[in-house]
Amino acid sequence: MTRIPHRSSCLIMCLWTAALVAAPVPAPIPPPPTIDANAYVLLDYASGTVLAEKNVNERVEPASITKIMTIYTVATEIRDGRISLDDEVPISEKAWRTSGSRMFVEVGKRVRVQDLMKGDIIQSGNDASVALAEYVSGTEDVFAAVMNQHANRLGMTGTHFLNSTGLPNPEHYTTARDVGVLAAALIREFPHVYVWFSEKEFTWNGIRQPNRNKLLYRDDTVDGIKTGFTESAGYCLAASAVRDGRRLIAVVLGTASDKARTAAASALLNYGFRFTESHRVYGAREPVTEVRVWKGEGEIARLGLGDELHVSVPSGRYESVEATVNVDPRVVAPVSAGQTLGHLTLALDGEEIAARDLVSLDDIAEAGIFTRMLDEVRLWFE
């Protein structure tokens, strides 16, 4: 079992208790399946760990995978109160004439934001994308600039958008990694919108269209996300599934067919769930250890993490994870809650798998002059 090695003179707490009997040695994890795609990535949603990858940072065309950011941008506008789901959007001639997959909105008519979002998500309607973009930002060009602002904020360093649809343009590109980052942000920030990505069909203007994500029909653990296709981009799919409370995200870009992208995403998800596992190590503001505080009204400050910490490891290897805590050797009041006073590192077989700052969970005010003077003397002997 795992314990925290002694790395400093501070008080150190063990993460796990030593086992009384030796655990069986787990089998080695096999390599990921062979995926015939230009790029792909398999991510653990909770930890953000990359479980499998190919050309993960290579710039590729996203096709209608773009619409994940279109919906993210619209959802942000709704959350911030600038538009609402019930707003009625006038359909421009540009939106009506947009080529490619369509929701079949009619020029001059008004369509609710919610209906356009579903047409964009489920039917992959390029006309719906343009209508939403024009309503939010006036023009699609300005909307694309807002999309890029969100991409920069989310750390999507290999992405640049020129439109809301994903129609081909040499300067419109993304990476498998960035799509995974975006998908995780959408699921985390807008779960009430994300549920629409699991809907299998949508009818508008008397035309029923099925969701193009075939995994929704074949695997009841899959609840999204989005397909994409152009001749230059190939067949693309971002998929996510939840099994036993754990979510994985698979992004496959540039395959040869609809069948190939579906099989590739399914193979990645099955591999991740079968051969890896994820664990919540600590919660946000959950005490990890303590540190002595000098010259303060209190002598002890509890240390913890600002956010939850999850780790992903090969199946059966969690017991082998080692944790190391290092804290500042000389902490003097005043101390503010949230102040960084140490560091936590998790490693498996000597390789770092997670690292976080340890912050004070307590405010420790400066003590009176007598206590400060007494502690000053004591520090001479420390």
Respond yes or no: is residue 64 known to be catalytic.
yes
Strands (E), 85-152: 88-90, 110-112
Which residues make beta-bridge pairs with 351?
A: 348
**Annotated catalytic residue within 47, 92, 101, 124:** 124
Task: Specify whether 295 is catalytic.
Answer: no
Selected catalytic residue, list 47, 54, 67, 118:
67
Burial class (CB in 10 A: 0-12, 13-18, 19+), 213: buried
213 strand-pairing partners: none
Pairing, β 276-282 against β 309-314: antiparallel
Nearest to 136 by CA among 77, 186, 184, 181: 77
First-to-final CA distance of the chain: 33
The counts of H helices and E strands in the chain are 10, 17
Catalytic site residue 67? yes
Continuous segment of H or E residues that includes residue 116: helix 113-121
Task: Check 47, 64, 164, 360 and give the catalytic one.
Answer: 64
Beta-carbon contacts of residue 187 (< 8 Å; ≥ 6 apart): 45, 194, 224, 240, 247
* Catalytic machinery residues: 64, 67, 124
